[in-house]
Amino acid sequence: MNGVPASFAVAALLTAGMQPAAAADIKRGQELLTRDCGSCHAVGRGGDSAAKDAPAFRTLGQRYPVENLEEALGEGFMSGHPDMPEFKFDADDVGAIIAYLKSIQQR
């Protein structure tokens, strides 16, 4: 059978009483950031950024809600980001990245 209706899949996940979709998003977000950003930024809960001016991702939430990055991630990356190749993520990837960032923020 091809294509389980999305609403059915969601109901099944909710019935399971946990949020595996969110966990999968978080993992995917981490992978994307590690691949594309990890050469300069500290991606995880610890460690220093490789580029000394690049903020560790776990500290971004101290300056603004990480949701504010959605637009920048989806539409091509912000100016004022020196030496950085341009990144553009599709909506699913943006969601995964935001989910991951939320999961690691230090307050």
**Choice from 84, 102, 103, 105 touching ligand HEC (CB under 6 A):** 84
What burial letters (b/e) apply to 72-105, b meaning 16+ CB within 10 Å? bbbeebeeeeeebeeeebeeebbbbbbbbbebbe
Nearer to ligand HEC, 21 or 65 (CB): 65
Nearer to ligand HEC, 45 or 81 (CB): 81
**Choice from 2, 53, 79, 86 touching ligand HEC (CB under 6 A):** 53
Distances in Å between the Cα of 6 and the Cα atoms of 2, 9, 11, 13, 27 are 12, 5, 9, 11, 21
- How far is it, in rounded angstroms, from Cα 97 to Cα 63? 17
Is position 81 an interface residue for ligand HEC (rule: CB under 6 A)? yes
Nearer to ligand HEC, 2 or 79 (CB): 79
Binding site for ligand HEC (CB under 6 A): 36-37, 39-41, 51, 53-55, 60, 63, 69, 80-84, 87
